[in-house]
Amino acid sequence: MAASILREEFRLKHFRLNHHNDRAFYCGQWKLPHIVFVLARVLLAGYSVYAMIHLVVNHYENGNKGALMRFFTVWSYILLMIHLVYAALLSIVFFRPGRQGIQGDDSEKQAGVPMTNRNAISTISNGGKDGHTAENGHNGGVVIGDGSKKKSPTPGEHEIVFGNDTSLSTAWYFKLSWVLSNFITCAAPVVTIIFFVAIYPKQNKNESSVGLQDLNVHALNFVFVVVDHLISARPVRLLHAYLPIIYGLVYIIFSVIYWSTDHKNHVVYEILDWNKPGIAFAVTVGLAVVAIPLLQFAFFGLYRLKLYICKKVHGYDLD
């Protein structure tokens, strides 16, 4: 079973940002009142905004002269805040009383999903010859021009039929949410692990406790990402590991440019000290080739575990 799941996961279609059910981006995974899911997302978003304000105020009140935006931690927390706020807004915009999780309510199962162009019908002329049409079947299926029948998408699915080929199309506002999630899913644990393993022990030798600011941006950031994945129905794809890798490389390029303006005072992190290019390059390669793929695989495993539990507990398959 695991082999078939991985074989399916590495198909080229999963490289793209398309998913068969738009509700995955604004509904909860579990069969709970939608208002509970919305409140959870609003709380996460609200606290992230508070933590960001606290970080900025503390930075300048303490007389720090260095640019706050030089830190990967700050980049990542801003992305986390944007992701959580945007995800909360999607859940509010698509709020529907009576909905319970991604399955929706009884009326939704018949009416479909707002702002989704479902069951699109297309005609392919094939150069003016042998055209194929797709139209709705009487039993909820789709009848293809050659007489075959295809199962209709389930509620929330966004399907476009071209002759005998079916492709998925996800709206840009859901894709944006998915991209933000992919960025922060791997960035948050990287921030947490590097801080508590490589930075905090050297900076706080005489302190046994973690301050509120460090707790917010170096610990709760990771907790919020895990909680967001646990309650959300948003899918995780192994092939989307390229997104956090791109995000990390953008920061690496920034760190090189920033360091080039002052080789002494513009070293942001000791492990990314470009005065020691061998170590900095090794860290970069290690993160891109080993750490990020492993983290993506871990969150993919969590996603598959959620699907398994959901099928066992609620009786429906969201795969």
pLDDT higher than 90, residue 184: yes
Claim to verify: residue 135 and residue 256 sit in the same structural domain:
no
Strand 132-136 and strand 123-124: the pairing is antiparallel
Claim to verify: residue 191 and residue 145 sit in the same structural domain:
no
Is residue 319 one of the residues assigned to a domain?
A: no
Q: In this predicted model, which residue has the larger pLDDT, 21 or 218? A: 218
Determine what percent of the chain is predicted with pLDDT higher than 70: 76
pLDDT higher than 50, residue 165: no
Is residue 111 one of the residues assigned to a domain?
A: no
Lowest mean pLDDT among 200-214, 218-232, 237-251: 200-214
Number of CB atoms found within 10 A of residue 146's CB:
10
Is residue 158 one of the residues assigned to a domain?
A: yes
Strand 132-136 and strand 141-144: the pairing is antiparallel
In this prediction, residue 255 has a pLDDT band, given cuts at 50, 70 and 90, of very high
Claim to verify: residue 54 and residue 132 sit in the same structural domain:
no
Is residue 285 one of the residues assigned to a domain?
A: yes
Q: In the prediction, which pLDDT does 121 show?
A: 29
Domain end, chosen from 136, 151, 168, is at 168
Q: In the prediction, which pLDDT does 101 show?
A: 75
In this prediction, residue 288 has a pLDDT band, given cuts at 50, 70 and 90, of very high
Claim to verify: residue 120 and residue 224 sit in the same structural domain:
no
Domain end, chosen from 133, 151, 168, is at 168
**Cα angle, residue 191 at apex, residues 92 and 272 outer, rounded to 5°:** 140
Is residue 92 one of the residues assigned to a domain?
A: yes
31-86 residue pLDDT tens? 888 899 999 999 999 999 999 999 999 988 877 767 899 999 999 999 999 999 99
Q: In the prediction, which pLDDT does 105 show?
A: 56
Q: In the prediction, which pLDDT does 135 show?
A: 32
Claim to verify: residue 262 and residue 189 sit in the same structural domain:
yes
pLDDT higher than 90, residue 103: no
Residue with tokens 């700050």: 74
| Contact predicate 119/73, CB 8 Å | no
Number of CB atoms found within 10 A of residue 79's CB:
18
CA–CA distance, 58 with 65 (Å, rounded to integer):
12
Claim to verify: residue 55 and residue 179 sit in the same structural domain:
yes
**Cα angle, residue 19 at apex, residues 151 and 173 outer, rounded to 5°:** 130
Q: In the prediction, which pLDDT does 104 show?
A: 61
Domain end, chosen from 168, 185, 203, is at 168
Residue with tokens 């999630």: 181
Claim to verify: residue 159 and residue 227 sit in the same structural domain:
no
pLDDT higher than 70, residue 271: yes
Number of CB atoms found within 10 A of residue 154's CB:
16
| Contact predicate 175/123, CB 8 Å | no
Is residue 109 one of the residues assigned to a domain?
A: no
Mean pLDDT estimate for the chain: 81
Helices marked H in the chain: 2-9, 34-61, 72-93, 106-111, 172-194, 200-203, 212-215, 221-231, 242-260, 277-286, 292-314
Q: What are phi and psi of 136, to 5 degrees?
A: -70, 135
Work out how many domains the chain is built from and give that number: 2
Number of CB atoms found within 10 A of residue 90's CB:
20
Strand 132-136 and strand 120-121: the pairing is unpaired
Q: In this predicted model, which residue has the larger pLDDT, 274 or 164? A: 274
Strand 159-162 and strand 120-121: the pairing is parallel
Claim to verify: residue 195 and residue 280 sit in the same structural domain:
yes
Claim to verify: residue 74 and residue 182 sit in the same structural domain:
yes
Domain assignment of residue 184, given as a range: 2-104+172-314
CA dihedral 8, 11, 16, 21 (to 10 degrees): -30
Strand 141-144 and strand 149-151: the pairing is antiparallel
Q: In the prediction, which pLDDT does 205 show?
A: 61
Claim to verify: residue 58 and residue 203 sit in the same structural domain:
yes
Q: In this predicted model, which residue has the larger pLDDT, 57 or 204? A: 57
Strand 165-168 and strand 120-121: the pairing is unpaired
Claim to verify: residue 162 and residue 282 sit in the same structural domain:
no
Q: In the prediction, which pLDDT does 161 show?
A: 34
Is residue 201 one of the residues assigned to a domain?
A: yes
Is residue 262 one of the residues assigned to a domain?
A: yes
Q: Is the pTM of this model over 0.85?
A: no
Query: Coil, strand or helix: which one is 157?
Result: strand
Claim to verify: residue 9 and residue 88 sit in the same structural domain:
yes
